[in-house]
A and B are shown apart, each in its own frame.
Chain A
Amino acid sequence: MRRRVLPGFGISLGYTLAYLGLIVLLPLVALAWKATGIGFHGLLQLLASPRTLAALRLSFGGALLAALLNVFLGLLVAWTLVRYRFPGRRLFDALIDLPFALPTAVAGIALTAIYAPNGWLGRWLVPMGIQVAYAPPGVLLAMVFVGFPFVVRTLQPVLQSLARDVEEAAESLGATRAQTFFRVILPVLVPTLLTGFALALARAVGEYGSVIFIAGNIPMRSEIAPLLIVQKLEEFDYAGAAALGVVMLAFSFVLLVLIALLQHWSGRWAERGA
């Protein structure tokens, strides 16, 4: 074997492994271990509880819907920022990362203040019968908010590097604007859109801070799964909290693997189409 010229392999890898082991792996092993404490029967009972099911459905259903909305909104915004020059573009571009930078608790109370019945938007929406705050739409809004930058930031570099000549060729061959977009541009973007979707989804599934303020946390209606974990902890039901945590992680894992597979196929499909 070639002698290594660069120093520090042992110490840097050793430190990395020890640090990850102590900070990430050991705690996750404790989580899995504690979760077994409720037993198979306990797990079935937990999953059969209507309240748990409703919370899981809201967390995962809401996150899927939020990630889907973010794909559309993110594509629109990324497209606008990359393709057009207009006053305020740079400011808007810098602002995209606000949901990353703004602490979730701050986002949560700010969104609640806006959409509450006496808020800037709530006072118009509530009389029209649209209740956002303290209802499931509020959960969705917060989830869209925290996941929004992922799709835009994943798309921007890809849109920038998109070869313009292909579009121009399509148009000069008589394709309409819509045909060019759906047949030429979109297929190339699909793998990137899926990446953005997965990132936004992962973020929204576990989101806590911004959601709990606006959700109203009504059991069976607007209560998210992470909140149930917190409640179980407050009741000192450690095993129950751990089991619910493991269930959430397992669900997320399955979803992300599915998206990765989808991405793999769409990537190959786009390559073949090109």
Chain B
Amino acid sequence: MSGGSARGGSTGRWLGHVAIIAFASLFLIVFLLLPLASVFAEAFRQGMQAYLASLQQPEALSAIRLTLLVAAIAVPLNLVFGVAAAWAMTRFEFRGKAALGALIDLPFSVSPVISGLVYVLLFGAQGWFGPWLDAHGVRIIFAVPGLVLATVFITLPFVARELIPLMQAQGSEEEEAARVLGANAWQMFFRVTLPNIRWALLYGVLLCNARAMGEFGAVSVVSGHIRGLTTTMPLEVEMRYNEYDYVGAFAIASLLALLALLTLAVKTFLEWRYGDEIAAHAPGGH
């Protein structure tokens, strides 16, 4: 179906449509598909054996473990926060709601480097709490807690942003009915609210997880790049790349690219199958 009018059918206009489609397709192939393809091409440049060997090195395995660990802590934290924030924002009226919404979105407009920097200023050696933490033998910066904090900051808005527009649109009649019929708070939440928001919740968690596992700038600042201890997968990519171990760098990168493809596939499926239950979410925000 082209954008032609009833008058249409002239060859010139048809050629115009074909030219637009061809240009857009070519652009998307060169601009998006080519980088994706190059990740795998570079990873397998020296064959399957070299690829597998570089993934079995101890640093690779510990980077994978650390990435999974950080996401396993950060994502549930932001999941609970997202539900609580969406509940407060969409079910009650209070002053300063708009400001609260802006604050929830704030991490999206802060540079990842600054997101890491703020925690160094709080917990680093010269930071506010640095001396106290040092005296008590607690390490946050250049250790796992710092990686988790930076990741939580970066991925904070994802779940809340998916839930708020949906719950706003759904309204609170069903929940009020449940309460009036005698449901307690937990019954109401688990039997009415949660079933209504489950696909949007999954959608938000999916995006949150993709960012948590792939975050680079913020964790780079707080990591200290201690091999085997504080290097997540994206940081291991960087270290190997800077050591000219290109096959090794792209091998780890290929795993992250697979994660991205899986995320896109599940996302597309959710949009196709449960589009109306994910709602008219604010566009462009993720």
Contact = CB atoms under 8 A, between A and B. Distances in A.
Whether chain B is bound by chain A comes out as: yes
Interface of A: 4-9, 11-13, 15-17, 19-20, 23-28, 30-31, 33-34, 73, 76-77, 79-81, 83-86, 88, 92, 94-107, 109-111, 113-114, 119-121, 145, 148-151, 153-154, 156-157, 168, 171-172, 177, 195-196, 199, 202-203, 205-209, 213, 226-227, 229-230, 233, 236, 238, 241-242, 245, 248-249, 252, 256
A76 B217 contact: no
Interface in B266-280: 267-268, 280
A157 B282 CA distance: 10
Given A4-B92, A26-B122, A208-B111, A106 B234 contact: yes
B114 A30 contact: no
A5 B180 contact: yes
Given A9-B92, A110-B39, A209-B216, 18 more contacts: A12-B91, A13-B92, A15-B84, A19-B81, A20-B103, A23-B149, A27-B153, A28-B118, A30-B127, A31-B118, A95-B264, A104-B216, A111-B35, A119-B38, A154-B283, A209-B220, A230-B113, A256-B109
B256 A213 contact: no
A25 B103 contact: yes
Given A8-B185, A84-B17, A238-B126, A104 B217 contact: yes
B283 A106 contact: no
Contacts of A206: 109-114, 217
- In which size bucket is the chain B interface? 35 or more
Interface in B147-200: 149, 152-153, 156, 172, 175-176, 179-180, 185, 188
Contacts of B20: 76, 79-80, 84
B132 interface: no
A72 B215 CA distance: 28
B34 A121 contact: yes
Contact of A24 (B88, B107, B113, B265): B107
Interface of B: 1-3, 5-7, 13, 16-17, 20-21, 23-25, 27-28, 30-36, 38-39, 42, 81, 84-85, 87-89, 91-92, 94, 100, 103-104, 106-114, 117-122, 124, 126-128, 149, 152-153, 156, 172, 175-176, 179-180, 185, 188, 207, 210, 213-217, 220-221, 233-235, 237-238, 241, 246, 249-250, 253, 256-257, 259-261, 263-265, 267-268, 280, 283-286
